[in-house]
Amino acid sequence: MNIEKCNGERLWDSIMEIGKIGHAEVKHSKVGGCHRLALTDKDKQARDLFISWAEAVGCHLRVDPVGNIFLRRSGRNDDLLPVTTGSHLDTQPTGGKFDGIYGCLAGLEVLRCLDEQNIETLRPIEVVVWTNEEGSRFKPAMLGSGAYAGVFKLDSVLDTKDVEGVSLGDELKRLGYTEQMTDSFSKCYQYYELHIEQGPVLEALNIDLGVVTGVLGMRWYEVDVIGTSCHAGPSPMHLRNDALVGVANMVTELTKVAANNGEDSRCTIGELDILNASTNVSPGHVTFSLDLRESTVEQLHELQTKAFEAIHRIAYHHKLEINIKESWSLPPCPFDATCLSNIKQACESVYPEIQAHSLVSGAGHDAVYVNRVAPTAMIFVPSEKGLSHNECEYTSPEQLEKGCNVLLNTIIRAANS
C-alpha cells in the first residue's frame, strides 16, 4: 500500500478559517476561542462553508432527519456501504477551535487529497458533521449521532428545547434543513473519528498519536444531603447537624476512592448547591452531582459500590439523611478490533518511528453511539496542557498533520476492503 500525505498547511488554514465564525479574542490563547452553539446562525454559517468546500471537490450533500450532514465521495462501487469519518462543528459557550472541528476538517482534507491525487477507492467515502454533539444548547449531548444510532427517538430529539423554549426541530426548519432532509437514516461500513485528546496523557508521554481502544462508561447521580440548618452564632460546633461539613468530607473521600481504584477510575463533583444559603446559617440541605467513570461494566459497578459506601458511612457519622438518584448513564464502549487494526497499521506505515499509544477515552464522543450500529474506532492527537472545552485549547499544526496522515491512510485501507 502506498503511503499518502495530506496538506498540513491547508488543513491548518481551513481550521482557522472555520474558527473565524464565532471567534473570541482571549488573553493567553495562541489562536483564540470560539463560540458557536448548535443550530444557531453561526453554526449554519460554518456548516455552509464546510459544505461548499466539500462540493468543490465533487462531493454530494445529504441531510438526514435530524440535520446531520453527510458529504459523499463516490467509489468504484457505490452500491457498497461507505467508510465514514467526521465529528462536529458546534462548540461549548467558551470553547476552542479544535474540539470536533478538527475531525470534520481532517475528513475534508482526506477528500481533497484523494481528489487532487486522482485516487479511486472501491467504497464511497463520507464525511459527516453531527448535530448538537456538545449538548450546550440542546440537552443531552450527542443528539445527532444518538438519533442516527437509534438511541434517541427522532420525535423526542426534534421536540428537545433549549433554555429559551426553542425546539431543535424548529431550528432545523428555520435554517432551511427540512427542505433538504432524507426520510430515513443511512448506514456505513466503518466509522473513524479523529479528535484532539482533551486530556494530558499523550503530552505527558511526549507521543503525538493515540489509538483509542474505547470510551469509559459513565454514570451521573444527583446526591441529596439533608441535615438541620441552625443559627451560626448560638450553635456550638459539636452540636451542629451541618450538611455542608458532611458533603466536604464526602468530596474528599470520593476523590480518594477513585484515585486508589485504578488508572481508568474517575470521580468528579462538578456541581454543588446549598439550598437557602445564608452567611450566618449552618447549611441544612446540600445537593451535589457525582460523575463516575470506568472502563468496564464490572469496574464501574465496583467504583459505584465504593462511592456509595463512602457517602453513607460519612452521612451516618454526621447524622445526615442521604438520597441518591441516577440522572444519566452511558455503558463502557470498546471499539472494533478490525478498525483498530487498520489504524495501527496506518500508524506503523506512515510513522514507523512513532510508537502510537493505546488509550481509553475518558470523554464521550459521537463515535460511542455510532459504534452501536457500525464498526468504529478513534484516533487522538495531543491537547496542549490537556485543555479542552476551554478557549485556550491548542494543538500544534505538526501534530494535527500527523493525525490527518494516519486518518487518510486508514480511510484508504478501509475503503478498499
385-394 pLDDT, tens digit each? 999 999 999 9
Name the E strands within 272-381: 272-274, 281-282, 285-294, 321-330, 333-334, 357-361, 376-381
- Output the pLDDT for position 364: 87
Q: Does residue 395 register a pLDDT over 70?
A: yes
User: Any bridge partners for residue 230, and if so which?
Assistant: 282
d(C-alpha 68, C-alpha 131), whole Å: 5
> Which value, in Å, is the radius of gyration of the alpha carbons in the chain?
23
Task: Evaluate whether 31 touches 97 at the Cβ level (below 8 Å).
Answer: yes
- Output the pLDDT for position 2: 77
Give the total residue count for the chain: 417
What mean pLDDT value characterizes the chain?
Answer: 97
Give domain status of residue 1, yes or no.
no
Give domain status of residue 151, yes or no.
yes
Give domain status of residue 248, yes or no.
yes
- Output the pLDDT for position 155: 98
Q: Does residue 199 register a pLDDT over 90?
A: yes
- Output the pLDDT for position 29: 94
Q: Does residue 3 register a pLDDT over 90?
A: no
Q: Are residues 38 and 115 in the same domain?
A: yes
Q: Are residues 121 and 206 in the same domain?
A: yes
Average pLDDT over residues 105-133: 97
Residue 7 has phi, psi (to 5 degrees) of -95, 95
The pLDDT tens digits of the residues spanning 339-356 come to 999 999 999 999 999 999
- Output the pLDDT for position 8: 98
Give domain status of residue 105, yes or no.
yes
Q: Are residues 325 and 358 in the same domain?
A: no
Distances in whole angstroms, Cα of residue 347 to Cα of each of 59, 88, 300, 364, 376: 27, 24, 31, 23, 17
- Output the pLDDT for position 54: 98
Give domain status of residue 361, yes or no.
yes
Q: Are residues 365 and 244 in the same domain?
A: no
Handedness of CA 377, 382, 386, 389 (dihedral sign): negative
Give domain status of residue 357, yes or no.
yes
- Residues ≥6 apart with Cβ < 8 Å to 411: 83, 85, 110, 121, 125, 192
* Nearest by Cα to 246 from 184, 148, 313, 338: 313
The pLDDT tens digits of the residues spanning 284-304 come to 999 999 999 999 999 999 999
The pLDDT tens digits of the residues spanning 202-223 come to 999 999 999 999 999 999 999 9
Give residue 328's pLDDT band: very low, low, confident or very high (50, 70, 90).
confident
Average pLDDT over residues 142-147: 98
Grid cell listed for 123: 467504497
The vertex-57 CA angle with 377 and 145, nearest 5°, equals 35
Give domain status of residue 3, yes or no.
no
Average pLDDT over residues 252-259: 97
Q: Are residues 401 and 324 in the same domain?
A: no
Q: Does residue 142 register a pLDDT over 80?
A: yes
DSSP string, 357-374: EEEEESS--HHHHHTTTS
**Which domain does 275 fall in, by range?**
221-330
Q: Are residues 303 and 325 in the same domain?
A: yes
Q: Are residues 339 and 304 in the same domain?
A: no
Write the DSSP symbol of residue 35.
-
Give residue 1's pLDDT band: very low, low, confident or very high (50, 70, 90).
low
User: Any bridge partners for residue 286, and if so which?
Assistant: 225, 274
- The enclosing domain of 155 has a CATH number of 3.40.630.10
- Number of domain units in the chain: 2
d(C-alpha 260, C-alpha 271), whole Å: 23
Helices marked H in 92-240: 101-116, 143-148, 154-159, 168-174, 201-205
Q: Are residues 209 and 319 in the same domain?
A: no
Average pLDDT over residues 251-269: 96
Give domain status of residue 2, yes or no.
no
Share of the chain above pLDDT 70, in %: 100
Q: Are residues 97 and 196 in the same domain?
A: yes
Task: Evaluate whether 336 touches 371 at the Cβ level (below 8 Å).
Answer: yes
Give pTM, 2 decimals: 0.91
Q: Are residues 113 and 198 in the same domain?
A: yes
**Domain end: 330, 364, 396, which one?**
330
- Residues ≥6 apart with Cβ < 8 Å to 255: 267
**Domain end: 330, 360, 382, which one?**
330
Residue 174's SS3 state is helix
Please name the helix (run of DSSP H) or strand (run of DSSP E) that holds residue 225, with its range, or none: strand 217-226
**Domain end: 262, 297, 330, which one?**
330
Q: Are residues 124 and 231 in the same domain?
A: no
Cα dihedral angle (148, 217, 364, 110), rounded to 10 degrees?
Answer: -70
Residue 116's SS3 state is helix
Q: Are residues 310 and 362 in the same domain?
A: no
